Structure 1
Amino acid sequence: MIAGLGASGGIVIGRAFVLDRQYIHVIRQTIPADRIEQEVTTLHRGVDDSIEQLRRLKSQSGALEASASDELGFLLDAYIQMLTQSRLLRGAEDRIRQQKMNAVWAVSDVIDSIAQQFSGIKDRYIAARAADIREVGLRLMRCLMGETDRALDNAPRGAILIAEELSPADMARLQPGNVGAFVTAIGGAEGHTAIMARALGIPAVLGAADIIRGISGGDTVIVDGIRGEVILRPTDADLKLYGKRREDWLAARTKLLGLRSLPSETKDKVQVDLHANIELPVEVTTVLQNGASGIGLLRSEFMFMNKNYLPDEEEQYQELAGIVSQMNDLPVTIRTLDIGGEKLAVALQNEMGSGPNPALGLRGVRLSLRREDLLEAQLAAILRASLHGRVRVLVPMVVTVAEMVRVRQIYNRVADRLRANGHKIPKTLPPLGAMIEIPAAALSIDALARECEFFAIGTNDLTQYTLAIDRSDDQVAHSYDPLHPAILRLIHEVSKASLRNNVPLSVCGEMAGDPRYTPLFLGMGLRNLSMSPGSLLPVKQRVRRLDSRTSEYQTQQILDQWDPARIAVMLDDFNDLA
């Protein structure tokens, strides 16, 4: 049994498909002389990214038993050494400078050269070193290319996908039902890959460092995404135990489905609107099946992932119009592009690169205002799609009032252009709102209220930026705590200010989808929660068991506390009693 982090609930028994990253399609380009230094810089940036991956994997392996941790650690240290002082790196740099090869081609050519030199040598030690160099070289090439590996396409239907790491771009290619579950060596339960797994309803265990050792394709595997357990080559007793747990889990889920048509209201008849967050168009069916009263957050990044070009207005319109139409006039809140951090678009990365800290760099509204052509195309597509249903426009990563003023100017200009070109759009434009996910925005909420028609609190980034903790960093993710009193007080202040300024407010982070936190939001006066589709029914069940006045009293007691551990105990005690 290998322990990891339960990132997406469910229990699956199936056959392992070990993601084979060996095949990479190399584009060979001869670069001009004035681009040589730029390409060398690109090579070194790829080396830095590869080393960071290996260090993260080594950090994750620290949870293993001492002997296994040491063995894997030595291997990863050797890989890091190969990326800093080796003929691989020197050879690639020489080929860029002397033969004007692009970086990926140069690395590929060095690997081929080394493999050819060692091909006739029968010594097993040397053969192993050649294989290590190839592994390191392939990792470097993947970082340089920044594209999703085609090996995902070969996974048989229902397989359990085993991988060192899956990116959000990888996740965007997975279809519910095609993959039974997945397990990765790297990753945390609060990262974007985990969020997408929950959104797609794919059981997942992340951070299972030892999974990359000793497993073969076709092995029987049990994945328990609830407890974070992975059983390799299970015994009959294991199969019986987890088979029973799976039956219990399915029975509980069936019971929840009975809540779909019931109102989302407390025992004292307070209505709480439950909306869904979606990453991909394929989720709309699940959203409707689970009885959502709308889409509170449509992340538009899916239109940009796994593409080496930027989708134009027409392509975005077609995608968005399809989603809005399927929602049958239920409200759809579309967030403008928030590429950055974990979420990368190949076309933008190739064009603009990335800063030393992408989470704090050019992303969200900052990128949109740097590249107004991208924002204009997206706003035009949204305005045209709004003819198919009820739409709102949400702007991410807002910090200042000036940003919202500028976005509104562009919004109005795009509307005028569309009308002038004969496009029908609503006379009253869809509401324009801001994500409150940066402490500066939360603390400036009264000023922002003058320029926004609604707000949505993004608890994931609000927690990350307030606590200065990267929730996807394995070394510090355990300290990512939404119950820190600073987080709760920020949310409460935003709630009071929204009510004071008569601006509608929702919560659309992962906290909204956890029934544990439902009494807190209810007690703060929040009446609109948006979450992964799979969380809708558990949260509705929680809402229906609560009384709003009791929740308000209990929340006030919690807000008076300063110790996160004490807050957690008080909240759990209340949940046990309510």
Structure 2
Amino acid sequence: MQIVEGTIASPGIALGHIGIWHPAIWNIDPQRIVDSAQELQRFEQACDVALSQLQALEDSIRDDTGEETAQLFSAHQLMLQDDDFQQEIRDAISREHASAAWAVKQTSELFAAQMAAMEDTYFQARAVDIRDVAGRLITLLCGHPRAAQPAYASNTILLAEEITPSETVQLDRQRIVAIVTRQGSSISHSAILARAMGIPAIMGLNIPALPDEWEGLEALVDSATGHLYLSPDSETRQRYHDK
């Protein structure tokens, strides 16, 4: 049995098997665009669609878990419409003749890095929200549907590098019994959503990288203490069964 510690994000206890989540990564070609005006139009159209999607998510999560969590996706709409964020992307398209997808990628990485470097932990936690908003835009600009999560088996403990708010609300609560991530914190929007959705979660797991060999292992999550038990022994299983 191996015990790994992390940060309590959403309290609860769950027993299941680990399923590792690797989100799709789009390889964006940094090619120069001849018609910048057309590329700006593509960017504006993608923003309009993204805003509609985020509004639909806000309405859906409001019906499901209430107003507080719905406001998280209202915040994503404000991030998308932020003047500095928008201007940086438009400048990259107009002046550097960058593709819209490349401009969004470069700008979001810059803004996310600035957030992550701040001393205030609240602002540090917003870096993933910027990446979430940017990922939505890039998906639209590249013409691909947003990547769906695999059809996990029942009683799956989802293990990921990090999980965005948009990915969190997609979780199949009939199959996913807990979330464990290497990055993230208890004040992230994903953690807030996990608590509202009643999914136990540990974030900021104390490991240098996701071990692929953990795939399929039986594990026990005690997110009230921040402990992940890999291949729990019979004594540990019995102790938690009694709880």
Give TM class, smaller chain: 0.5 to 0.7
Give secondary structure in 2 for the equivalent of 1:98. Answer: helix
What is the aligned partner in structure 2 of residue 27 from structure 1? 29
Q: Would the alpha carbon gap of residues 20 and 46 (structure 1) be closer, same or farther in structure 2, given more than 3 Å must change?
A: farther
What is the aligned partner in structure 1 of residue 88 from structure 2? 91
What is the aligned partner in structure 1 of residue 61 from structure 2? 61
The Cα shift of 1:128 comes to 2.2
Match of 2:101 among 97, 101, 104: 104
Any unmatched runs of 5+ in structure 2? Answer: 1-14, 159-166, 177-195, 204-218, 222-239
The Cα shift of 1:85 comes to 2.7
The Cα shift of 1:165 comes to 4.2
Residues 397-419 of structure 1 deviation map (CA, whole Å, 9 limit, x = unaligned): xxxxxxxxxxxxxxxxxxxxxxx
Q: Would the alpha carbon gap of residues 126 and 93 (structure 1) be closer, same or farther in structure 2, given more than 3 Å must change?
A: same
5 Å-filtered alignment, 1:243-258, equals none
Counterpart amino acid of 2:59? Answer: S
The Cα shift of 1:211 comes to 4.2
The answer to which structure, 1 or 2, has the higher relative contact order (CA under 8 A, 6+ apart) is 2
Q: Would the alpha carbon gap of residues 143 and 213 (structure 1) be closer, same or farther in structure 2, given more than 3 Å must change?
A: farther
Give secondary structure in 2 for the equivalent of 1:113. Answer: helix
Kept in 1, the 8 Å contact 2:100–2:141? The answer is yes
What is the aligned partner in structure 1 of residue 206 from structure 2? none
The Cα shift of 1:22 comes to 7.1
Match of 1:137 among 134, 139, 142: 134
Any unmatched runs of 5+ in structure 1? Answer: 1-12, 167-178, 184-209, 221-234, 238-578
Between the aligned partners of 2:43 and 2:139, the Cα distance in structure 1 is: 12
Q: Would the alpha carbon gap of residues 139 and 149 (structure 1) be closer, same or farther in structure 2, given more than 3 Å must change?
A: closer
What is the aligned partner in structure 2 of residue 37 from structure 1? 37
Q: Would the alpha carbon gap of residues 76 and 151 (structure 1) be closer, same or farther in structure 2, given more than 3 Å must change?
A: closer
Q: Would the alpha carbon gap of residues 14 and 56 (structure 1) be closer, same or farther in structure 2, given more than 3 Å must change?
A: farther
Give secondary structure in 2 for the equivalent of 1:25. Answer: coil
Residues 47-95 of structure 1 deviation map (CA, whole Å, 9 limit, x = unaligned): 122112211111112234xxx5222122111111111234222211111
Q: Would the alpha carbon gap of residues 59 and 95 (structure 1) be closer, same or farther in structure 2, given more than 3 Å must change?
A: same
Between the aligned partners of 1:48 and 1:219, the Cα distance in structure 2 is: 43
Counterpart amino acid of 2:61? Answer: S
Kept in 1, the 8 Å contact 2:153–2:175? The answer is no
Matched-pair identity in %: 23
Counterpart amino acid of 1:54? Answer: L
Kept in 2, the 8 Å contact 1:21–1:149? The answer is no
By percentage of residues, which structure has more helix?
Answer: 1
Give secondary structure in 2 for the equivalent of 1:63. Answer: helix
What is the aligned partner in structure 2 of residue 146 from structure 1? 143
Q: Would the alpha carbon gap of residues 216 and 125 (structure 1) be closer, same or farther in structure 2, given more than 3 Å must change?
A: closer
Counterpart amino acid of 1:31? Answer: I
By percentage of residues, which structure has more strand?
Answer: 2
What is the aligned partner in structure 2 of residue 356 from structure 1? none
Say yes or no: does 1:82 pair with 2:84. no
The Cα shift of 1:182 comes to 5.8
Q: Would the alpha carbon gap of residues 158 and 73 (structure 1) be closer, same or farther in structure 2, given more than 3 Å must change?
A: closer
- TM-score, normalising length: structure 1: 0.25
5 Å-filtered alignment, 1:326-341, equals none
Kept in 2, the 8 Å contact 1:92–1:106? The answer is yes
Say yes or no: does 1:125 pair with 2:99. no
May I ask how many residue pairs the two structures share in their alignment? Answer: 168
Counterpart amino acid of 1:129? Answer: R
The Cα shift of 1:26 comes to 2.3
Counterpart amino acid of 1:136? Answer: V
What is the aligned partner in structure 2 of residue 359 from structure 1? none
What is the aligned partner in structure 2 of residue 114 from structure 1? 111
Give secondary structure in 2 for the equivalent of 1:28. Answer: coil
Instruction: Give me the CA root mean square deviation.
Output: 4.0
Say yes or no: does 1:46 pair with 2:46. yes
Q: Would the alpha carbon gap of residues 86 and 129 (structure 1) be closer, same or farther in structure 2, given more than 3 Å must change?
A: farther
Residues 6-36 of structure 1 deviation map (CA, whole Å, 9 limit, x = unaligned): xxxxxxx95475855473332322111xx21
Residues 444-466 of structure 1 deviation map (CA, whole Å, 9 limit, x = unaligned): xxxxxxxxxxxxxxxxxxxxxxx
Give secondary structure in 2 for the equivalent of 1:29. Answer: coil
Between the aligned partners of 1:163 and 1:156, the Cα distance in structure 2 is: 14
